[in-house]
Structure 1
Amino acid sequence: MRSLQHISLSVLFILMTSVAFAAPAAKLQGAHADKKALPRSCQACHRGMQMVIDGEEGTCLACHGSDALRQTMVRKGFLKDRGVADLRDIESELRKPYNHPVLTVRGAHRSTETLPEEVTNAKRHSECVDCHDPHLTEKEKPFRGIKGRRVINQMAEIAHEYELCYKCHSTSVNLPAFATDKAAEFRTTNPSFHPVEGEGRLAFVVSLKEPYAARKASVKDLTTISCSDCHGSDAADGPKGPHGSNFSGLLRYNYEMDDARSESEYTYALCYECHSRTSILANESFAYHALHIEGNRSSGQLGTSCFTCHDAHGSTVNPYLLRFNEEFVRPNSEGKLEYLSTGVAARHGSCSLTCHGSEHKIRAY
């Protein structure tokens, strides 16, 4: 019996390793096909039962984790020194307080799964292979081989980063209670939106810092942004991509969203990456910007967050990304909670609402 078990295990091992090595080898391209970096090619990842023991994440982190793990791969001959230079410690990012749950939700990904998710009780997950095809990925094309959700709801190979994000952060029926459909918020038919899918509605945004611009007037002008411009590592020299951050929302920079905050460059660092703090506090785009975010110093009243009035993704109801946070902004005595624009070019309008004990009844500016 013991002999029979030994033979069975041997056959199983041969079958597993033959499939593991032969199948991917036929399609291995991109960064992992570079034998100057990975001299033993497929064996760097597929060797005996190693992938079963380490799991998908452990296999990836052998090279994309700590320097100590990489040096082990170098000593074993699976990774060459020249291949180490471009590798970053992704594991440290994934262990930050705000992260994609790569290390905490394992074994949930299926190659046949349909995304956006159609099953209500399906486990939310984000494993390495949800975003990266290890047989095709390239340094400058990290999503190569992965299908994403196009604006027209068609699934096709990713051409823009947001198409990858929409797979989980749009119409999935298992979205957390606090989450919203990001595809709906970035839709270019909305009254306003940050320019992810395309250029924004306004022809000119006075507070934008170079090289950002509302419309492309020169080659250097950036008129669209990516999800990872805001979401990603908070470390200045951190790896690209939204793996983890010390800031809430997996943001690259600090962004205070609560009420009663002291304004500073750090408080709204995320916004000030693209928008001039000097311009905002000089009221160049809104006559009462400084009053709202700095507060009334003479009365000792602190300011309120940008988030109190603006949705950083997009607004389905108002221009200027206006969508009031109803935790702090409520209807006035007439039951109105609204903004009315009285001219885009002039940047004038009126608000009807109650905020911080102050009632606005078509209060114009």
Structure 2
Amino acid sequence: MGFNFRSGGGTNGCLNCHGNSSKVIRGLVSAGVEIKNIESEFKKTYRHPTLEVSGVHSSKEELPETNPRAPRHADCADCHDPHLVSPANRFAGIKGKRIGNIMADITNEYELCYRCHAESANLPGRFSNKRAELSMNNPSFHPVEGEGKNSVVISLLKPYKEKKVNPADISIIQCGDCHGSDSPSSPKGPHGSNYPYILADNYSTRDNEPESVYAYALCYRCHNRASILGNESFKFHSLHIQGKGNGAVAVGGTSCHTCHNSHGSTEYKYLIKFDPEVVSPNSKGMLKFVEKGVSSFRGECYLSCHGVDHSPKSY
């Protein structure tokens, strides 16, 4: 049946039931039980390398990885314990939360992600420590580990709120709210997507990107597009995102990613972190943001961007 118990089970064993329906072994799944096709998700453009990397996982391995030379992999058993998992506890049997000297079972989705995307010694150089970015000790962060620090986020759409007041309010989100399949009918979870970074919707990080509902669809799931383009929190939002108009066509806009880190910022409030591929120090060698007023949304930017020197530019 494809199970390799020495390696923790093996992906092929899981696909006997959770793969393409043409490959499911007759008799393994009860009649009338619908099991969604995970295999198709792993064949999308952006995916965890579950099918590409095989024979690496070990049932004895410990995560986060301590060996910088260990090959990166994502076996089913890295995220799921097939013997203990249940609808009531998706993370049962998965170690990853350190309590003193003991590595206990995780209880939150972000703790599962941190097993590979935080302090792993084999984290690729182009990737960053997500635990560090989402830390509640940062000046700002998306509210994954807990509620955010900013008490006034004007652009939030209902039912999202800065702080939970009513039972229906959502003030804490999960990694899976942004990362997951691009199809709502697909299995839940960040198995694969046709959007970069295994995102559930499109999020362009390109410079000189014409603004549209599609370009920043992921952001507009929670943030009111009309509020952003109406400059309700930053009076130059529209100018930066849409660029300067040329007749009916806007050109020269830049991505939300140019000024914001979508996980969190270790330096500034409002998720501000400048993309070094687009933003550079100004003529005086300065590259920073200075807040000037909390209630009035005032600040200064010292930088150079698109040939414009900010020494500073104030708002």
Query: Residues 269 and 79 from structure 1, CA distance in 2 versus in 1: closer, same or farther, beyond 3 angstroms?
Result: same
Summarize the Cα distance change of 1:158–1:328 in structure 2 as closer, same or farther, 3 Å threshold. same
Whether the aligned pair in 2 keeps the contact of 1:204 and 1:215 (CA below 8 Å) is no
Residues 95-150 of structure 1 show CA distances to partners (whole Å, capped at 9, x for unaligned) of: 11111111011121122212111111001111000000110111343221111235
Q: Which amino acid aligns with 2:22?
A: A
Distance 1:347 1:156 in 2: 43
Question: Aligned to 2:268, which of 303, 307, 318?
Answer: 318
Match of 2:257 among 307, 327, 347: 307
Specify which of 102, 105, 121 is matched with residue 53 of structure 2. Answer: 105
- Partners in 1 of 2:169 and 2:101 — Cα distance? 29
- With over 3 angstroms needed to count, the CA separation of the structure-2 counterparts of 1:231 and 1:96, relative to structure 1, is same
User: Does the C-alpha gap of structure 1 residues 96 and 212 become closer, same or farther in structure 2, counting only changes over 3 Å?
Assistant: same
Asked if structure 1 preserves the Cα contact closer than 8 Å seen for 2:17 and 2:28, the reply is no
Q: Of the candidates 9, 15, 19, which is equivalent to residue 61 of structure 1?
A: 15
Query: Which residues of 2 match residues 341-352 of structure 1 at below 5 A?
Result: 341-352=291-302
Give the ranges of 4+ consecutive aligned residues of structure 1 lying more than 4 Å apart after TM superposition.
Answer: 150-154
Separation in structure 2 between the aligned mates of residue 350 and residue 122 of structure 1, nearest angstrom: 44
The offset of 1:153, in angstroms, is 9.0
Partner of 1:248: 196
Where does residue 51 of structure 1 map in the other structure?
3
Percent identity (aligned)? 49
Give the 3 Å change call, closer, same or farther, for CA 51–298 of structure 1 in structure 2: closer
Match of residue 146, structure 2, among 198, 206, 213: 198
Cα pair 2:156 2:223 within 8 Å, conserved:
yes
Match of 1:80 in 2: 30
- 1:130 counterpart SS class: helix
Question: Contact 2:141 / 2:264 at 8 angstroms: preserved in 1?
Answer: yes
CA apart distance, 1:238: 1.4
Aligned-residue Cα RMSD (Å) equals 1.8
Pick the aligned partner of 1:148 from 74, 96, 120.
Answer: 96
- Matches of residues 281-292 of structure 1 in structure 2 within 5 Å? 281-292=229-240
Quote how far apart the aligned CAs of 1:56 are.
1.5
Report how far residue 152 of structure 1 moved: 8.0
Query: Which amino acid is 2:3 matched to?
Result: M
Q: Is the 8 A contact 2:134 2:141 kept in 1?
A: yes
Stretches of structure 1 lacking an aligned partner (at least 5 in a row): 1-44
Asked whether the 8 Å contact 1:190–1:314 carries over to 2, the reply is: yes
Deviation at 1:78, TM superposition (A): 2.4
For 1:32, the equivalent position in structure 2 comes to none
| 1:342 counterpart SS class | strand
The alpha carbon displacement at 1:309 in A equals 0.2
Aligned counterpart, 1:328: 278
Match of 1:361 among 307, 311, 314: 311
Describe the superposition over 1:66-85 as per-residue Cα deviations: whole angstroms up to 9, x where unpaired: 22233x42xxx222113x32
SS at match of 1:81: coil
The corresponding residue for 2:107 is 159
Higher relative contact order (CA 8 A, sep 6+): 2
How many residues are paired up? 310
Secondary structure, in 3 states, of the residue corresponding to 1:340? strand
Deviations along 1:47-92, one digit per CA (max 9) or x if unpaired, are xxx4259x7211101111122233x42xxx222113x32x111000
Amino acid at match of 1:67: S
**1:63 is paired with a residue of what secondary structure?**
helix
Conserved in 1, the CA contact under 8 Å of 2:244 and 2:253? yes
1:210 is aligned with what amino acid? K
Pair 139,66 (structure 1): closer, same or farther in 2 beyond 3 Å = farther
Mapped partners of 2:175, 2:226: distance in 1: 25
Equivalent AA in structure 2 for residue 320 of structure 1: Y
Q: Deviations over 1:188-219 (max 9, x none)?
A: 01000000111001112110111111101100
Q: CA deviation at 1:156?
A: 1.5
* 1:220 counterpart = 2:172: no
- Could you tell me whether the CA contact under 8 Å between 1:149 and 1:166 is conserved in 2? no
Q: Secondary structure at the match of 1:51?
A: coil
Give how far 1:298 is off. Answer: 3.6
Give the Cα–Cα distance (whole angstroms) in 1 for the partners of residues 147 and 70 of structure 2. Answer: 35
Secondary structure of the residue aligned to 2:293 is coil
Q: Which residue of 2 aligns with 1:31?
A: none
Secondary structure of 1:269's counterpart equals coil
From the superposition, tell whether residues 335 and 63 of structure 1 become closer, same or farther in structure 2 (CA, over 3 Å).
same
1:311 and 1:322 in contact (8 A); partners too: yes
